[in-house]
Structure 1
Amino acid sequence: MLKVALRQPLADFTLDLSFEAPAGVTVLFGGSGAGKTTVINAVAGLMRPETGRVALQDRLLFDVKQGVWLPPHRRRLGYIFQEARLFPHMTVRQNLLFGRWFAPRGAAREDLDRIISMLGIGSLLQRHPAALSGGEKQRVAIGRALLSSPDLILADEPLAALDEARKEEILPYFERLRDELKIPMLYVSHSAAEVARLATSVVVLKDGKVQRQGSATEVLGDDRVMPTGVRAAGALLEARVLRHHLDGLSELDAGGLSLFLPRVQQDPGSLLRVRILAQDVILSRQKPEGLSALNILPAEVEQIRSGTGPGAMVSLKTEAGRVLARITRRSAQALDLAPGAACYAVVKSVAIARSDVSGTPQTEA
């Protein structure tokens, strides 16, 4: 358990917050300038807040009132930056081994070969950073952080400098860190897609304050706290793979409802997270017939929120979980939608991108 309480005047606002991060991946989620990097740097010891206290399990990293301040190298934290920051004159192997200089005496060491295998960097060991792609550099940076035997991994928007293809390359490795090594992680992001893939818990920041805290499902299902705008709003459903069909579709069971997606890699029986964007959902008051869309979910309207523009966000209760639909206010009126109204949520199978499907975080039994 990581416990954080900070207060620090900044240029545009005063950072004033507290939160607890349980085991797993806690994502600090917010738009640019929300204070996310300030928080993670305070935890790392790279900046000293005016007032604050940070404790990791039974260790006090700093407490201004008690006059406790551990220097960064004694905090047993691994830091993964936006850019890999590898030493250009060292080979990949040398960069990895550099991390071991910071491992405390007597600490359990991660096996070098295991880390190399898990990150798929065995063929890169003799190369220098200049000969690596952006994704390869980040994998090496992850390995270097792991080999310092940290009690906590800090990741400050580690995918921000990568293109979409490289992001898709790196995300599975962060999932493996979460599920296989089980090292707790504080991960900074402004991407709802990364939150959906990685988070076991989410802390939403706005102007230096905690706006919302909860599970990824709870936070992403609440359009009121979407720091990156309504276009990123969407539901996060949990579903189990039932079977793979010969036509290239996979059938999932989402709370007893069938959900058809482009073929997923996971085996039948696997539990998945599926992110469905609100803008990809259309509504009907009667069960549609003769549509190409395969996913038709019976629903009940929970709430309708209208903005200043022509749009409305409809929150729906389904057997699969909460679903959001972004429609026009004109459509909501034409359908006579109101809380308690029965309707159907329609989602095209091909609207669900491969990047919006991932394994669920594995928890201890």
Structure 2
Amino acid sequence: MSLAVEARHRLGDFILDAAFTSDGGVTALFGRSGSGKTSLIRIIAGLTRPAEGVVRLGEDVLVDTARGIFVPPHRRRFGYVFQEARLFPHLTVRQNLNYGRWFSPKGTRPESPDRVVGLLGIGDLLDRQPANLSGGEKQRVAIGRALLASPRLLLMDEPLAALDEERKAEILPYLERLRDEAGIPIVYVSHSVAEVARLADRVVLMTGGRVEAVGPASDVLGGPRLASAADRREAGSVLS
């Protein structure tokens, strides 16, 4: 299912003027902190209403400022995974997952809880409280909760940013399984070359609120514009 985004919006002195299209798989919004990645994904989610722009998923127009169209977030059927897991601390893992199922719309085929639990490897965690989970385990549960809402699109805003390298290494294989087996288009925000190279099919390279390049991950991450968008510590090469 294709996603088309055009957005122009001012946040104080920062101006976002970005556009891209995606035809499924994992599309990474990549760039340094402050490049506009989170601002753009919030517009896709409906958490920010752009001054001008269009957001379309397939044939469904979600935003068209010229025509006065703005579909509120709860009607877009998008899953959103934040940097922090944001689990309900008073609920067990099973109850947190069931909360996601409440948002699965009537008349649609709901995602199988057993399949999601198996996909994310959280079967042994179901009766535990969030306080007793590692950071990587919490994020896997948060992803499961989002999947059980039967989303048409999954938005992931730097889901590994709050984790140390060991926890990142723990969760990346599950994200790869999610990409390969769930069949849901994903927009993935990151400033990590390693994450994007491993997960993304398509990269939208952002600098200063604008899109510098769009294309297959190997082309964009191996191109000359990467240096202007990546942190110095992320410099490197991508080899196929």
State the TM-score bracket (shorter-chain normalisation). over 0.9
CA distances 1:115-154 after superposition (whole Å, capped 9, x unpaired): 1111111111111111111010000001000000001000
Whether contact under 8 Å (1:216, 1:236) holds in the other structure is: no
Structure 1 portions without partners, runs of 5+ = 239-365
- State the match for 1:165 in structure 2: 166
- State the match for 1:296 in structure 2: none
- State the match for 2:126 in structure 1: 125
Distance in 1 (CA, whole Å) between partners of 2:203 and 2:184 is: 17
Larger Rg: 1
Letter in 1 for 2:235: A
Whether contact under 8 Å (2:15, 2:209) holds in the other structure is: yes
Q: Secondary structure at the match of 1:236?
A: coil
- State the match for 1:40 in structure 2: 41
Q: Secondary structure at the match of 1:217?
A: helix
2:238 pairs with 1:233? no
Whether contact under 8 Å (1:92, 1:126) holds in the other structure is: yes
CA distances 1:87-142 after superposition (whole Å, capped 9, x unpaired): 11111001001111111111121110111111111111111111111010000001
- State the match for 2:16 in structure 1: 15
Q: How much does 1:230 deviate?
A: 5.0
Letter in 2 for 1:228: A
Distance in 2 (CA, whole Å) between partners of 1:49 and 1:124 is: 40
- Structure 1 range deviating more: 4-13 or 182-191: 4-13
Q: How much does 1:68 deviate?
A: 1.1
Number of aligned residues? 238
- State the match for 1:81 in structure 2: 82
- State the match for 1:333 in structure 2: none
Instruction: Describe how 1:219-258 pairs up with structure 2 within 5 A.
Output: 219-226=220-227, 227-229=229-231, 231-238=233-240
Letter in 2 for 1:13: F
Letter in 1 for 2:3: L
- % same residue: 60
2:203 pairs with 1:202? yes
Instruction: Describe how 1:54-73 pairs up with structure 2 within 5 A.
Output: 54-73=55-74
Q: How much does 1:66 deviate?
A: 1.1
2:192 pairs with 1:181? no
Q: How does the TM-score come out when normalised to structure 1?
A: 0.64
Are the structure 2 counterparts of residues 16 and 116 from structure 1 closer, same or farther at C-alpha, using a change threshold of 3 Å?
Answer: same
Distance in 2 (CA, whole Å) between partners of 1:46 and 1:134 is: 25
Distance in 1 (CA, whole Å) between partners of 2:72 and 2:221 is: 36
Whether contact under 8 Å (2:212, 2:225) holds in the other structure is: no
Q: How much does 1:60 deviate?
A: 1.0
Tell me the C-alpha RMSD between the 2 structures: 1.1
Structure 2 portions without partners, runs of 5+ = none
Whether contact under 8 Å (1:213, 1:219) holds in the other structure is: yes
Whether contact under 8 Å (1:34, 1:206) holds in the other structure is: yes
Distance in 1 (CA, whole Å) between partners of 2:126 and 2:226 is: 43
**Structure with greater proportional helix content:** 2
Instruction: Describe how 1:281-296 pairs up with structure 2 within 5 A.
Output: none
**Structure with greater proportional strand content:** 1
Q: How much does 1:198 deviate?
A: 0.4
Q: How does the TM-score come out when normalised to structure 2?
A: 0.96
Letter in 2 for 1:58: E
- Structure 1 range deviating more: 56-65 or 199-208: 56-65
